[in-house]
Amino acid sequence: NSPETQHHVQNLEKAGILNKTKVSENGKKVRKNWTQTWTVLHGGVLTFHKDPKSTTTGASNKTNQIVPEVTVDLKGATICWATKDKSSKKNVLELKTKNALEFLIQYDTESIIVDWHRVLTDTIRQLEYQ
Ligand code: I3S
């Protein structure tokens, strides 16, 4: 965990809206539930936030609107382009975490998802050396 490696990972930061769904947990397939999520990459951790529209409480309470839903430690994770059998959508990434969670991440605009693929790949690679 050298200062230099930390510096590299800290430079790999990104945020934006993506569509995501969990597809599997501990080797068990779960029912897809695609939702739009504010996604933040920071310090080697990816955080999906709850869709403000989908929260049942405090829709009028601004402080409640952006709530972290899932945090994914990217150390030991893998990212790749999903094969066609994984989804009928285009531009789909498959993220598998060290603790056996699998997510699909998708966005219709290709350049946006290509950027996420690059930054997630670089982050995961950097974390290997920590
Ligand atoms: O891989 P699947 O099961 O065909 O995924 C689709 C379904 O989850 C569907 O919902 P229900 O079958 O639960 O009603 C979703 O609406 C679709 O979006 C899922 O497929 P895509 O190809 O969009 O990932």
pTM for this prediction = 0.85
Question: Which of 29, 32, 104, 107 for a ligand 1 pocket mutation test, highest count of atoms within 8 Å of Cβ?
Answer: 32
What are the pLDDT digits (tens) for 99-120? 999 999 999 999 999 999 999 9
Whether residue 129 is predicted with pLDDT greater than 80 in this model: the reply is: yes
Q: What is the pLDDT of residues 23-66, one digit of tens each?
A: 999 999 999 999 999 999 999 999 999 866 655 554 455 555 67
Residues in contact with ligand 1 by the CB-under-6-Å rule are: 31-32, 34, 87-89
Assembly ipTM:
0.89
More confident residue, 87 or 62: 87
What is the rounded CA–CA span in Å between residue 73 and residue 70? 10
Instruction: Report residue 12's pLDDT band, with 50, 70 and 90 as the boundaries.
Output: confident
